[in-house]
Structure 1
């Protein structure tokens, strides 16, 4: 669907352009989970703000 909306002729173009975004979101999720698991008992964990996707 994204490929069609963006007008890319091949899915490889879409994947190549946006793969880094997906990897960045995965890294942020891992970092957030790590922070939550390492938080001291009784302290509030605040996840980071959502990244700006360009």
Structure 2
């Protein structure tokens, strides 16, 4: 059936296993927890999932490391600076209790 659908859609023939592998790889690349993928695929152990998709995990780990490298350059939140709009009222909890602050 899948072969017929691929032919009609004029795409290269794929096997169900190929679709399953692609799905798992894309989920891992998107940061979905490996345990969820393990359960979705019906693997008996997390080791089976991680061993099978280790190549995707390496790419994901590299991307995470790159993001960490960028972290020091990212704009940091400065304490005492709100994200509200001028004139907005907000409640601040301090040593004197709740205080309404209007910007």
Measured against the shorter chain, the TM-score band is: 0.3 to 0.5
* Structure having the higher Rg: 2
* Structure with greater strand percent: 2
The TM-score, its normalising length taken from structure 1, stands at 0.44
Taking CA–CA contacts closer than 8 Å with sequence separation of 6 or more, which of the two structures ends up with the larger relative contact order? 1
* Structure with greater helix percent: 1
